[in-house]
C-alpha cells in the first residue's frame, strides 16, 4: 500500500519534531543521574500520568486489542487482565504511595531499603537487576515485532523481496530514531515527547471512532457478527459461533486456548490479583512512580493512567474493528486459515481512513510505538549504572561519567532487544511469555515482600531465582512437547488426564503459570526458613517509613516500644473496598467507548452510569482520604546520588 504524499509529509514532520523536541530538552537530563533517570522529581503528576499512559498505548498492544475485539467482541474487555490491566488500580489505591515513600531510584535499590545489606539482600539485589533487564529486553522485542508488522503495510519503501525482512528493517530504522532522543534526553525528553505524541494519538483515535460511527450502522454491524458478540458477559464458553461469518475466527478461539472462557476468566483473576498485589515490575511504570514529587502524587498519577489510556485507545480499537468487520470480512473469509489476525489493524487503516487523517493516525501510532520504546529503554540504564556499576565496580564514579554510561547502557539493551525481536514470529508469543512466564516467576517474592515481616533476602532471592528459571525453561520452544508428554503419561488416570486436557486448552502460558507460581512460593519459604530474619533495625526502618498493612506484628511491637504514639496502618478494609470498586470503574471505562462507537447507546448509558457512580464512591473513599493517608510529612526526597 502506498501512502499519499500528504500522509508521508505528516509522518516525516512528526518524526522530525519528536527528535528535535527530545534533543532540545536533553540539556536538563545531562545535569546528573537524578535528572536523567527521574526528571529531577519536579515533573507534575498529571504529565507523568499522561506519559505513562502514552508508554502503554503501544502499537503492538493496540494490534492485539483490535484482533481480540474482532474475534471475541465485548468479551475482549476482560482479556487484558492477562497483563493484568487492573494492576493500575492496586497502584493508585495504595502501592504507588508505599513505593514512593522509600525515596529510592530503582527497584533494585528498594531491595536494600527492605532487606538491608546482608548476603541475602545482595543476592536479592542482583536477581532484581537480572529480572529488570530480561523484562526490558522482552518488551523491546515485543515492540520490535509490532512496529515492523505495522510499518511494512504503510511506509512506501521495500528494501528486499522478503516481507519478513522488510518488517525487521523498518523496525530497526524506527527504533534507531527513537533511541537517539531517548539516550540523549533521558526522562525529560521521554515525558515531553510522550505528552506530545499522546495528544496527536488521541486526536486520531477519536477521529477514527467518529468515522466508524458515521459509516457503520448498528443493523449493518449485526449482519456480520455472531449472536452475543456485543454482550460483555459470558458463561462457561464464549458463546460465539463464527461458522456463518468467518470460520477462521472459530479456529482462532481454539488456538488461543479461550474456548472455556469462564475457566480462562477465573485464571485471569487468580493470576491478576497475585501479580497486581506484587506492585509494579521494575520497568517504566515503576520509574514514573519514583519520578513523582511525593507519595500522594504517585497515587494520583496512577489514577490518571486509567482514564487517559482507556477512553481514547478504545475509541480507536472499536472504530477500526467495526470498519474491518463490515467492509473487510469477505477478504478475511477468503483467506481461510491463513488469516493473520494481527494484520487487521493496519489493513483496516489502509482501507478506510482518508488522506490526511491517515497520515495523522499513522504518525500517532508511530508515536505510540516510540512512546513505549522510549519508556522501556529509559527504564534500563538505572539498573546498569546505579545497581551494577556504582554499587559493585566504581562507587565514586562522577555524575558526568554515569550519564555517559547511561548512553552506553541504553544502546546495549536496544541492541539485545533487536536481536531477540529479529527472530520472533508472533506478537502474541512474546506477550504470552512476558505476562505468564516472567510474571509467574516474579509474583510470589514480590507479593510477600510487602506483607510479611519474616520474609528475608534469601527467601526473596530463591523465590525469584526459581520462578525466573522455571519461566525460562518451560516456556522455551520445547515446552509444547513437554506438555504433550505430561498428557500422555496420565492416560491411565482418567480424572487427572481430563483435568490436564482442560488446562491444555488454555494458552501455554496459563498451562504453566500455576506451576511456576508454586515453585516460586516453595523457593520463597525454603529460603526464608533456612536463614534467620533480617535485622530488626532494618525492618523497623522499613515499616515506619512505608507503613504497610499485613503481618508485621513483631515489628510493630518493636516500633511501638521506641515510639508508643506510632499507629499501624488501619486501611486494609478501605483499600480492598476501593480496589473492588476501582476494577469495576476501570472495566466500565473500557466498555463505555466501545458501546458508543458501535452505537449501542442504551448499554453505553449503563456503562457511563457505572463510571459516574464508581467515580463518586472513589472520591469519598479514596481521593478525600489521600491527604490523611499520605500527609505532607511523606514528601520524601529521592535518595542522594
Tell me the average pLDDT across 338-348. Answer: 66
pLDDT higher than 70, residue 127 = yes
CA separation for the pair 496, 239 (Å, rounded): 27
Between vectors from CA 612 to CA 610 and to CA 616, what angle results, nearest 5°?
A: 115
Tell me the average pLDDT across 64-78. Answer: 91
Residue 25: what pLDDT? Answer: 60
Q: pLDDT per residue over 572-582, tens digit each?
A: 999 999 999 99
Which three-class secondary structure state does DSSP give residue 108?
helix
Threshold 0.85, pTM exceeds: no
More confident residue, 621 or 19: 621
CATH 1.20.1730.10 boundaries in the chain: 5-252+280-425
Give percent of the chain with pLDDT exceeding 70. 72
Query: Are 441 and 464 within 8 A, CB to CB?
Result: yes
Tell me the average pLDDT across 212-225. Answer: 91
- The correct CATH number of 5-252+280-425 out of 1.10.3720.10, 1.20.1730.10, 1.10.3470.10, 2.40.50.140 is 1.20.1730.10
Tell me the average pLDDT across 524-538. Answer: 95
Band of residue 482 on the pLDDT scale cut at 50, 70, 90: very low
In this structure, the number of other CB atoms found within 10 A of the CB of residue 324 comes to: 27
Residue 288: what pLDDT? Answer: 81
Q: pLDDT per residue over 469-480, tens digit each?
A: 877 665 544 344
Tell me the average pLDDT across 440-458. Answer: 90
Residue 487: what pLDDT? Answer: 54
Tell me the average pLDDT across 443-458. Answer: 93
More confident residue, 570 or 252: 570
Query: Are 196 and 428 within 8 A, CB to CB?
Result: no
Least confident of 270-284, 359-373, 536-550, 570-584: 359-373
Band of residue 556 on the pLDDT scale cut at 50, 70, 90: very high
Tell me the average pLDDT across 34-59. Answer: 67
Cα→Cα distances 177→181, 201, 596, Å? 7, 18, 36
Residue 453: what pLDDT? Answer: 96
Residue 436: what pLDDT? Answer: 54
Query: Are 105 and 36 within 8 A, CB to CB?
Result: no
Whether the link from the prior residue into 358 is cis, omega within 30° of 0, is: no
Tell me the average pLDDT across 316-340. Answer: 78
Least confident of 309-323, 363-377, 606-620: 363-377
More confident residue, 281 or 280: 280
Tell me the average pLDDT across 34-48. Answer: 62
Amino acid at each position: 500500500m502506498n501512502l499519499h504524499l500528504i500522509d508521508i509529509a505528516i509522518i516525516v514532520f512528526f518524526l522530525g519534531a519528536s527528535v528535535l523536541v527530545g534533543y532540545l530538552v536533553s540539556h536538563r537530563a545531562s545535569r546528573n543521574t537524578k535528572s536523567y533517570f527521574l526528571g529531577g522529581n519536579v515533573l507534575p503528576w498529571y504529565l507523568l500520568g499522561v506519559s505513562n499512559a502514552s508508554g502503554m498505548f503501544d502499537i503492538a498492544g493496540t494490534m492485539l486489542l483490535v484482533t481480540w475485539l474482532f474475534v471475541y467482541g465485548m468479551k475482549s474487555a476482560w482479556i487484558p487482565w492477562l497483563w493484568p490491566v487492573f494492576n493500575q488500580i492496586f497502584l493508585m489505591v495504595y502501592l504507588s504511595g508505599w513505593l514512593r515513600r522509600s525515596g529510592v531510584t530503582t527497584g533494585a535499590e528498594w531491595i536494600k531499603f527492605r532487606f538491608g545489606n546482608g548476603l541475602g539482600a545482595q543476592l536479592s539485589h542482583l536477581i532484581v537487576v537480572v529480572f529488570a533487564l530480561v523484562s526490558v529486553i522482552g518488551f523491546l522485542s515485543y515492540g520490535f515485532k509490532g512496529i515492523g508488522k505495522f510499518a511494512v503495510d504503510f511506509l512506501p519503501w521495500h528494501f528486499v523481496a522478503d516481507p519478513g525482512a522488510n518488517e525487521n528493517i523498518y523496525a530497526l530504522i524506527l527504533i534507531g530514531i527513537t533511541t537517539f532522543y531517548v539516550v540523549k534526553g533521558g526522562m525529560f525528553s521521554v515525558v515531553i515527547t510522550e505528552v506530545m505524541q499522546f495528544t496527536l494519538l488521541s486526536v486520531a483515535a477519536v477521529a477514527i471512532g467518529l468515522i466508524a460511527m458515521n459509516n457503520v450502522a448498528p443493523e449493518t454491524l449485526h449482519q456480520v457478527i455472531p449472536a452475543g458478540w456485543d454482550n460483555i458477559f459470558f458463561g462457561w464458553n464464549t458463546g460465539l459461533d463464527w461458522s456463518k461469518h468467518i470460520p477462521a475466527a472459530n479456529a482462532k478461539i481454539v488456538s488461543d486456548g479461550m474456548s472455556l472462557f469462564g475457566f480462562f476468566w477465573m485464571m485471569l483473576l487468580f493470576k491478576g490479583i497475585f501479580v497486581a498485589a506484587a506492585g509494579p515490575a521494575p520497568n517504566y511504570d515503576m520509574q514514573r512512580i519514583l519520578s513523582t514529587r511525593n507519595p500522594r502524587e504517585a497515587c494520583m498519577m496512577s489514577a490518571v493512567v486509567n482514564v487517559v489510556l482507556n477512553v481514547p485507545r478504545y475509541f480507536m480499537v472499536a472504530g477500526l474493528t467495526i470498519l474491518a468487520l463490515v467492509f473487510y470480512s469477505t477478504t478475511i473469509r477468503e483467506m481461510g486459515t491463513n488469516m493473520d489476525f494481527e494484520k487487521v489493524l493496519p489493513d483496516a487503516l489502509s482501507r478506510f481512513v482518508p488522506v490526511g487523517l491517515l497520515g495523522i493516525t499513522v504518525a500517532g501510532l508511530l508515536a505510540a510505538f516510540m512512546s513505549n520504546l522510549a519508556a522501556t529503554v529509559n527504564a534500563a540504564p538505572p539498573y546498569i549504572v546505579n545497581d551494577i556499576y556504582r554499587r559493585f565496580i566504581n562507587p565514586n564514579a562522577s555524575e558526568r561519567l554515569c550519564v555517559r554510561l547511561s548512553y552506553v547502557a541504553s544502546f546495549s539493551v536496544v541492541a539485545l532487544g533487536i536481536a531477540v525481536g529479529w527472530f520472533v514470529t508472533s506478537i502474541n508469543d512474546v506477550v504470552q511469555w512476558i505476562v505468564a512466564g516472567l510474571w509467574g516467576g516474579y509474583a510470589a517474592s514480590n507479593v510477600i515482600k510487602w506483607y510479611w515481616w519474616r520474609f528475608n533476602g534469601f527467601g526473596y532471592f530463591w523465590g525469584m531465582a526459581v520462578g525466573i528459571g522455571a519461566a525460562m525453561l518451560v516456556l522455551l520452544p520445547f515446552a509444547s512437547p513437554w506438555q504433550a508428554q505430561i498428557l500422555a503419561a496420565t492416560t491411565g488416570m482418567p480424572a487427572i488426564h481430563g483435568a490436564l486436557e482442560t488446562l491444555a486448552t488454555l494458552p501455554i502460558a496459563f498451562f504453566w503459570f500455576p506451576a511456576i507460581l508454586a515453585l516460586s512460593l516453595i523457593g520463597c519459604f525454603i529460603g526464608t526458613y533456612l536463614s534467620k530474619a533480617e535485622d530488626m533495625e532494618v525492618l523497623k526502618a522499613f515499616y515506619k517509613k512505608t507503613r504497610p498493612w499485613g503481618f508485621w506484628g513483631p515489628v510493630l511491637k518493636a516500633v511501638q516500644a521506641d515510639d508508643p504514639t506510632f499507629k499501624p496502618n488501619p486501611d486494609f478494609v478501605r483499600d480492598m473496598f476501593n480496589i473492588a470498586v476501582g476494577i469495576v470503574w476501570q472495566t466500565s471505562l473500557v466498555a463505555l467507548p466501545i458501546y458508543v462507537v458501535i452505537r449501542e447507546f442504551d448499554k453505553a448509558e449503563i456503562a457511563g452510569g457505572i463510571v459516574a457512580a464508581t467515580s463518586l464512591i472513589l472520591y469519598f473513599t479514596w481521593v478525600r482520604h489521600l491527604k490523611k493517608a499520605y500527609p505532607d510529612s511523606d514528601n520524601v526526597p529521592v535518595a542522594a546520588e
